[in-house]
Amino acid sequence: MGFFGGKKHGADLYVDLGTANTLVVSRSKGIVVNEPSVIAYYEDSEGHKRIVAVGEEAKLKIGKTPGNLVAGHPLRDGVIAELDIAEQMLRYFIERAQTWRLKKPRVVVSLPYGVTDIEKKAVRDAGLAAGAAEVLLIDEPMAAAMGADLPVHQPQGNMVIDIGGGTTEIALISLYGIVHCEAVRVGGHKFDRAIVQYIRRHYNLIVGDQSAERLKITLGSALPGGMGGKSQIRGVDFVSGLPRSIEITSAEVSEALESDLNIIFEAARRTLEQAPPDLVPDIIKHGVVVAGGGALLHGMEERLMSELNVPVRIATDPLLTIALGGQRAIQDADLLERITL
């Protein structure tokens, strides 16, 4: 653009539309929304939906809703699965973030690498329907790398692993571009499901996803053998249907996670093996950065280091890394122009 294009403009808002959590960043105010990507609504017999709660409040209703009240995630595997409710959720969050009244915002949204044109259009349409003047798209791994302060502008190899709710994305980045990216359908939600299944198989007990998530966070570890400790968990007996409690150890919770963790480690090793040889020394020098909520799993840094044989660093605040990268993008018009899809 440069000389004749006049002043480049950045954007007003950035949305990290995650499978588990949505964050909205305003150029002037920083992070203004940080809530679960959940929406609760009533559906009548004609299929009309009436939204009753979004975010934290809606998450409290998951698994506890009577009859025709539905609470769920409109995104799956990082992409919009239910367009109409995703649009409503986005509208709600954008409205909440709105710090001005006169002008429709220019909104940047990040997407998992390699999504289809149809998925891109779904997000654009949802953003426009939600009140955006314009919707710009950027790659999520790029936002993750920028948020983790990796020098994406340098002709050097950067490797970032984003362990989110629905997927894990492993990317190699150099000079504002994604050199290689691999995504696996394993993330925090899959870990929770694995714990649910483990407890059903070993104890004939059905526990909820949210109880499993709590076990993962308090007792789960990426290290074989766990971190020690145990906890009581309540559920419903698979046979009798009656409530019952069991005691479960950190080693058991961690064992439940092992096969899903291995899918992530294998993908990360493949990415390293396939990296262009010129980029490998940089990766070894600067280390692999891990972001996303899954990076907070106990022992992740140590385990990844031993699995990959390269230095590994957990991003400073993994649940915010992508949003911080997006913040840099909306504040810097040149950068935004370079990375917009």
Is 18 a binding residue for Mg ion by CB under 5 A? The answer is: yes
C-alpha closest to that of 174 among 159, 189, 161, 191: 159
**Of positions 19, 110, 158, 250, contacts ligand ADP by CB under 6 A:** 19
**Of positions 12, 21, 108, 312, contacts ligand ADP by CB under 6 A:** 21
**Of positions 10, 127, 157, 188, contacts ligand ADP by CB under 6 A:** 188
Considering only residues 143 through 172, tell me which ones interact with Mg ion, judged by CB under 5 A.
164
Identify which of residues 216 and 303 has a Cβ nearer to ligand ADP in the complex.
216
Would you say 11 and 336 are in contact if contact means Cβ atoms under 8 Å apart? yes
**Of positions 33, 195, 264, 296, contacts ligand ADP by CB under 6 A:** 296
Structure tokens at 156: 């050097």
Q: Which does 166 bind (CB under 5 to 8 A by kind): ligand ADP, Mg ion, none?
A: ligand ADP
The DSSP 8-state label assigned to residue 298 in this structure reads: B
Least distance CB 284 / Mg ion (angstroms): 26
Is 18 a binding residue for ligand ADP by CB under 6 A? The answer is: yes
Q: Centre a 10 Å sphere on the Cβ of residue 48 and count the other Cβ atoms it contains.
A: 9
Is 165 a binding residue for ligand ADP by CB under 6 A? The answer is: yes
Is 297 a binding residue for ligand ADP by CB under 6 A? The answer is: yes
Is 319 a binding residue for ligand ADP by CB under 6 A? The answer is: yes
C-alpha closest to that of 111 among 101, 100, 122, 102: 122
Beta strands, E only, the chain: 13-17, 21-26, 30-36, 39-43, 49-54, 69-72, 75-76, 79-80, 106-111, 134-139, 158-163, 168-174, 177-184, 205-206, 230-237, 243-249, 288-291, 312-314
> Could you identify the residue written with the tokens 């899903």?
260
Least distance CB 48 / Mg ion (angstroms): 31
* Helix intervals (H) in 130-279: 140-147, 188-203, 209-219, 250-274
Is 164 a binding residue for ligand ADP by CB under 6 A? The answer is: yes
Is 166 a binding residue for ligand ADP by CB under 6 A? The answer is: yes
* Helix intervals (H) in 287-320: 300-308
> Could you identify the residue written with the tokens 């891109």?
120
Stretch that binds ligand ADP, among 148-156, 162-170, 201-209, 324-332 (CB under 6 A): 162-170
Q: Which does 325 bind (CB under 5 to 8 A by kind): Mg ion, ligand ADP, none?
A: none
- Residues of this chain that bind ligand ADP (CB under 6 A): 18-21, 164-166, 188-189, 213, 216-217, 292-294, 296-297, 319
**Site residues (vs Mg ion, CB under 5 A):** 18, 164
